[in-house]
Amino acid sequence: MLKFKNVYYCLYIFLYLLMIKFKKFYFEKFEFDKKTFIASFFYSFDQKEFFEEKIDFSSNFFKLREKINYKIVENILFHIHIAL
């Protein structure tokens, strides 16, 4: 079993091995559930191999305002989608 001291290096090797086989990486879409505060991010390799990441933004520590500008939320999620 291979062990790496640096998590980023391990991730780099993993992605490199995946990219050998595929030509393109796609940011398919993202969704945000306003009731549960769960964001889902969808990706694919060559639009053949699909995967999803979920982030739960719910918290017991704070409450959101009644009025939320969801265009701003979507803009933030768009950038998180790329950064992940």
Interatomic CA distance for residues 10 and 17, integer angstroms: 11
Q: Is 36 helix (H, G, I), strand (E, B) or coil?
A: coil
The arithmetic mean of pLDDT across residues 60-82, rounded, is: 81
Residue 3 has pLDDT above 60, yes or no: no
What's the CA dihedral at 27, 80, 16, 11 to 10 degrees? -150
Q: Would you say 27 and 43 are in contact if contact means Cβ atoms under 8 Å apart?
A: yes
| Threshold 0.85, pTM exceeds | no
41-68: pLDDT as tens digits:
999 888 887 888 998 888 888 776 778 8
**Token reading at 68:** 């939320």
Residue 13 has pLDDT above 80, yes or no: no
The number of beta carbons lying within 10 Å of the beta carbon of residue 65 is 6
Q: Is 69 helix (H, G, I), strand (E, B) or coil?
A: coil
Residues comprising the chain, all counted: 84
Query: Which is more confidently placed, 22 or 18?
Result: 22
Cα–Cα nearest to 56, from 83, 32, 74: 32
pLDDT of residue 68: 80
